[in-house]
Homo-oligomer: A and B are copies of this chain.
Amino acid sequence: MTKHSPTSHEASASNPVLEAIVARRSIHYLKPELPEGVTFDDIYHIVQECVKHTPTSFNSQVNRAFIVRGALHYKIWDQVVNKIKEPEYRARPLRIRDGAYGSIFFYVDENVTERNKVEHPEWAPVCEAYADQAMGAASIAAWTVMHNMGIGCNMQHYGKYMHDPNVLPEDIPSHWTMKCQLVFGVPDKDPNEKKFIENIVKVYE
C-alpha cells in the first residue's frame, strides 16, 4: 500500500452531471407554479425515466411512484397538517400544502423484494437494503434533474402520516411501501448555506 500523490482532475472539474449533483439543494420556500416552459408532463417524464433507468439489484426494478398536483396534493398534505398536533411541526407541511405545485411519492414494491429473497436466498438478509439503495438513487436522481431545470424541490419523509385510504389514491397497491415525498414548485427563496460535517474518502494504491 503506497501513498497516493495527487495529479489533477481537469476532466471531472467541469463535468455537467457532477456540476448538477453539486448544485442540487433543498428549496423549502416554493410558489405553487412550474417554471416557464416546464410542464407537468416534464415531471412525469423525469420521474418515469429515473424510476425505469435506476439500477437495481438482480435487475429487479423495484421502484414505483405516483405524482399529484391540484386538489389531491392539497388533500394529502392537509391530512398531514391535521394529524400533527404540535404547532411548531405543522409549519413545514402547511408550507408544502400551500406552496408546492405538486408532490411525487416514491415507493418500493415489496412483492419484488420478497421475490428477490426467494430467488437469491444467500442475499435475502440484504434485499431490503438493496431496495432502499435503489429507491434513494431514483428519487435523488429525479430531484437532481428537476433542480437542474430550475424546478425547486425538497424531500420529505412523512410516510406515517399518509396512510388514510380516504385520501391516498385507492388504486395504489397495498404491497407498495411509501418511502419519501419529493415536493416541487417555483423557488421562492434561495436555500441557506449548507453545513458540511465530515465526508471521508480515502485513497490507496
Which residues in A have some Cβ–Cβ distance to B below 8 Å? Answer: 1-2, 4, 6-13, 15-18, 20-22, 24, 26, 37-55, 57, 59-61, 63-73, 102, 123, 126, 128-130, 132-137, 139-141, 143-145, 148-149, 155, 157, 169, 171-172, 179-180, 194-205
Chain B residues lying within 8 Å of A196, measured Cβ to Cβ, are 52, 61
How distant is A166 from chain B, measured CB to nearest CB, in Å? 12
Copies of this chain, complex-wide, total 2
Q: Could you list 16 examples of A-B contacts with CB < 8 Å? A: A2-B70, A4-B40, A9-B39, A12-B45, A16-B148, A17-B148, A21-B49, A22-B49, A48-B201, A52-B199, A54-B140, A59-B194, A66-B201, A69-B205, A73-B205, A169-B202
A34 vs B12: C-alpha distance in the bound complex, in angstroms? 13
Contacting residues, chain B, for A171 (C-beta < 8 A): 202
A196 to B67 CA separation, bound complex (whole angstroms): 21
Across-interface contacts of A143 in B (CB, < 8 A) = 55
Report the separation of the CA atoms of residues A192 and B183 in the bound assembly, to the nearest whole angstrom.
36
CA distance A183 to B82 in the complex (A): 48
Nearest Cβ in chain B — how far from A200, in angstroms?
Answer: 5
Q: Is the CB of A205 within 8 A of B70?
A: yes
Given contacts A136-B133, A149-B11, contact A51 B199 (CB under 8 A): yes
Chain B positions within 8 Å of A64 at CB level: 199-201
Contacting pair B8 A41 (CB below 8 A): yes
A202 and B139 alpha carbons, distance in the complex (Å): 15
A42 surroundings in chain B (CB, below 8 A) = 9-12
Residues in chain B near residue A149, CB distance under 8 A: 11-12, 15
Distance to closest chain B CB from A88 (angstroms): 14
A102 to B202 Cα, complex, angstroms:
13
Given A59-B195, A132-B132, is A66 in contact with B123 using a C-beta cutoff of 8 Å? no
